[in-house]
Amino acid sequence: MSTPSKVPSPWTPVELEIRDCRVKAKVWGREYVWDRSLLPISITAAGREILSAPAALHALFHGEEEDFGEFSVLPISAEPEKAVFTVCASAGNILVNIRWTVEYDGFLEMALSVIPYWSFWGVSPVALDGLSMTFPLTEESSTLFHYWPTEHYDGLASGAVPEDGVQCPFKPWFWTGWEFGGLGIAAETDERVELNEGSPCISLIPDEKGRVLRWNLLEKRPREWEGREDTWGDALGPVDYVFGIQATPVKELRRDRMDFRIVHDTYTCDDRFLAPDENGETLLDYYKKCGVNWLIFHESWSAMQNYGQAVEEERFQTCVRECHRRGIKVMAYFGYEYPTNAPEWHEKKDDYLLKNVFGHFTGGWQRHNPCQRAYMVCYAGGYAAGMRERVRYAMEHYDLDGIYTDGTYVPWACANAEHGCGYVGPDGRRHPTYPIFAVRRHVRELYELVHGMGGVIDTHQSSCLLAPTLAFADSFFNGESIQEKLKESFLGFLNLPAFRTEYMGKNLGAFPQMLAYVDERMPLEKAASLSLIHDVLPRPSGGRGAAEIIAPYWEELCRFGSGEAVWHPYWEEDCPVKPETEHVYCSVYERNDGRLLAAVSSFNEETDEVVLRLPGGMKAGKPVPGVAQIKDSEGGLLRLSMKAFRPELIELIP
């Protein structure tokens, strides 16, 4: 009797085909192929081949490269959730074994061992002094890049690939691609990366067919082998590396994303949600009137930071019931911290918490009522399992419809030896590692738990566009890291390729909403002028005022059916509506019946007149929210009186 598949929606089971030394692995939306090769010779994603030539492992001996041979493939297991096989080969006087694990979301775990060959019999000394892997990419499949952690490449760690390429030191995540797909490589540690001073670990450099993504691993004989002979009784061990390789998008973008009309609010133990104002309207009534159908309660709903136990349970349960009575669903905050007032603090803190290279805790968000301080956790320790149980309790006990997670999907640098993070380098100092695989396991189990209870997960990840973890989120909330820069100089900081890379979500397969800390320098409309042309909306904060600003956009996008429409972005040549005015951008939704909905934003502070070239015979409806005014529409041109940073939606009818 076959075992039921545990592959969650929207993914499909892994399909693995092995014939001699040829391997084909198919998952949702992607295919990887090996053929007498250690690395894939073909990767398809988003309907295109993204490699311009086979990916390859390069081994140098006395500075000269030697080809690999003696390939063999050993099948290990093939289940719907994952398939495992091993590829073996040799070059020079080394052997290479790679265990490949293909998971249902398209994540490949590459466990690489480089092993001395015959050297203990005195046939030849170990001569390896160079090791790297390359992924040659087509030009159109490598126009954008993103890495994490950021060190702010021209203000951002995302954007268009410069003409001369990108070079950087070790990064635990590097992605390159285009607006709708790409390829990312992850590694938890640089412990076995041994390079000459000043050499980049990662580079993305132009070649005649496109660009080559290279990871340099060795530029010298491995430290572990240096000054030693390989003998039977004192053997030179393998040099091991583990990578994660993932083509994107990881899943189909949700078509029901306009069903996530979210307000992000604080929670306090009073009646502010249910107490009527002078007009007899409660705050929940106001939200409902504005079209809100999701309410997120931030951290203060829980008596202990990130712990999932309501300050006053009956009052909180009443508030959730009143939301449900109005058709508003509820998410509650779970984050990345462990509080000092947790009941098991004294026993668990050294295992649960993240530690820096000096052995000290990090973070430390402080709260009152009750007084506490909360430090950053690491999911490589025992904290992850406890968090999942508290999520289960909160969803069952408070009837939540989902959870909002803050930082949970980010593998923060950690050097806590108690749960296996960090390493001691040749300099005698402790260095951090990045627990990508532990975070990935945690959020995958969290996704399966929450979805199994009929819920959803929204996460705030702040500039970490890590596909191996974000695959297991329904939506993400991004933008905190750029808020002050946009407020200081919106146009001076504006980088549209960076926004398309990091804040649009279509290259990943998870839909985003934009975080906007609004004030007089950045009203919500200004944030919307940037996000709306990217099929993204800013998420309003709680209280009266913000929701009614975004409400007309919600209503019009829902009425038009934008989630089911074909989207034509402003940067593509086939976008049916073209601005004739400088610094004006227009993206278009197209329905099956030929109707169009144009999202228009002006960043031109010098003029109030915007001119758009329309497809032949199209007529314009009234702009929404209607701040702009139509001046005339003749000869295929639509003239608007429109202020900068006040976006409009305009329906065009054949």
Collapsing DSSP to helix, strand or coil, 347 comes out as: helix
Q: How far is CA 152 from the centre of its chain?
A: 17
The larger pLDDT score, comparing residue 139 to residue 480, is at: 139
Distance, in Å, from the CA atom of 137 to the CA atom of 147, rounded to the nearest integer, reads 17
Q: Show the 3-state SS of 309-327.
A: CECCHHHHHHHHHHHHHCC
Q: Which domains does the chain have, with CATH numbers?
A: 15-248 (2.70.98.10), 258-335+384-410+437-561 (3.20.20.80), 567-653 (2.60.40.1180)
| Banded model confidence at residue 369, pLDDT cuts 50, 70, 90 | confident
Q: What pLDDT, on the 0 to 100 scale, is given for residue 5?
A: 67
Under 8 Å between Cβ of 557 and 625: no
Collapsing DSSP to helix, strand or coil, 449 comes out as: helix
β-bridge mates for residue 181, sequence order: 178
% the chain with pLDDT above 90: 85
Under 8 Å between Cβ of 435 and 421: yes
Determine phi and psi for 451, rounding to 5 degrees. Answer: -65, -35
Counting every residue written for the chain, the total comes to: 654
Distance, in Å, from the CA atom of 346 to the CA atom of 147, rounded to the nearest integer, reads 37
Torsion of CA 344, 347, 353, 355, to 10 degrees: 150
Q: What pLDDT, on the 0 to 100 scale, is given for residue 231?
A: 79
DSSP letter for each residue of 569-600: -TTSTT-S-EE-STTEEEEEEE-TTS-EEEEE
Under 8 Å between Cβ of 27 and 7: no
Sheet holding 329-334, edge to edge: 262-265, 294-297, 329-334, 402-406, 456-460, 475-478, 511-514
Under 8 Å between Cβ of 447 and 165: no
Q: What pLDDT, on the 0 to 100 scale, is given for residue 282?
A: 95
Q: Is 488 exposed, middle or buried (0-12, 13-18, 19+ CB in 10 A)?
A: exposed
Looking at the predicted structure, is the pLDDT value of residue 473 above 60? yes
Q: What pLDDT, on the 0 to 100 scale, is given for residue 151?
A: 64
Structure pTM? 0.95
Collapsing DSSP to helix, strand or coil, 640 comes out as: strand
The larger pLDDT score, comparing residue 530 to residue 122, is at: 530
Under 8 Å between Cβ of 375 and 342: no
Work out the number of other CB atoms within 10 angstroms of the CB of residue 63: 9
Measured between alpha carbons, how far is residue 155 from residues 164, 184, 463, 492, 528 in Å? 18, 21, 12, 11, 21
User: What number is the average pLDDT over the span 43-68?
Assistant: 97
For the record, the structure tokens of 45 come out as 């994603």
* 257-293 CB burial, b ≥16 within 10 A, e <16: bbebbbbbbebeeeebbeeeeeeeebbbbbbbebbbb
For the record, the structure tokens of 483 come out as 């808020």
List, in sequence order, the alpha helices (H) in 173-312. Answer: 283-289
Q: Positive or negative, the Cα torsion across 48, 52, 54, 56? A: negative
Under 8 Å between Cβ of 641 and 623: no
Place of tokens 């007309």: 552
For the record, the structure tokens of 631 come out as 């001046």
Determine phi and psi for 492, rounding to 5 degrees. Answer: -65, -30
| Banded model confidence at residue 270, pLDDT cuts 50, 70, 90 | confident
Q: Which long-range contacts (CB under 8 A, 24 or more apart) does 607-610 make?
A: 607/581, 608/641, 608/642, 608/643, 609/581, 609/639, 609/640, 609/641, 609/642, 610/579, 610/581, 610/584, 610/639, 610/640, 610/641, 610/642
User: What number is the average pLDDT over the span 151-159?
Assistant: 65
Looking at the predicted structure, is the pLDDT value of residue 294 above 60? yes
Looking at the predicted structure, is the pLDDT value of residue 49 above 60? yes
Work out the number of other CB atoms within 10 angstroms of the CB of residue 10: 13
Beta strands in 456-545 (DSSP E): 456-460, 475-478, 511-514
Under 8 Å between Cβ of 422 and 431: yes
Q: What pLDDT, on the 0 to 100 scale, is given for residue 126?
A: 73
Q: Tell me: the pLDDT tens digits for 596-632?
A: 999 999 999 999 999 999 998 899 999 999 999 999 8
Q: What pLDDT, on the 0 to 100 scale, is given for residue 1?
A: 37
Q: What pLDDT, on the 0 to 100 scale, is given for residue 123?
A: 55
Determine phi and psi for 533, rounding to 5 degrees. Answer: -70, -10
In 3D, which of 183, 106, 172 has the Cα closest to residue 144?
Answer: 183
**Average pLDDT of the residues of the chain:** 94
Q: What pLDDT, on the 0 to 100 scale, is given for residue 272?
A: 86
β-bridge mates for residue 333, sequence order: 404
Work out the number of other CB atoms within 10 angstroms of the CB of residue 208: 7
Q: What pLDDT, on the 0 to 100 scale, is given for residue 145?
A: 97
Looking at the predicted structure, is the pLDDT value of residue 521 above 50? yes
In 3D, which of 584, 458, 605 has the Cα closest to residue 533?
Answer: 584
| Banded model confidence at residue 153, pLDDT cuts 50, 70, 90 | very low
Q: What pLDDT, on the 0 to 100 scale, is given for residue 268?
A: 78
Q: Tell me: the pLDDT tens digits for 233-267?
A: 888 899 999 999 999 999 998 888 889 999 999 88
Distance, in Å, from the CA atom of 215 to the CA atom of 173, rounded to the nearest integer, reads 11
Distance, in Å, from the CA atom of 148 to the CA atom of 156, rounded to the nearest integer, reads 10
DSSP letter for each residue of 14-53: -EEEEETTEEEEEETTEEEEEESSSS-SEEEETTEE-BSS
Looking at the predicted structure, is the pLDDT value of residue 519 above 80? yes
Residue 200 preceded by cis peptide, ω within 30: no
Work out the number of other CB atoms within 10 angstroms of the CB of residue 86: 15
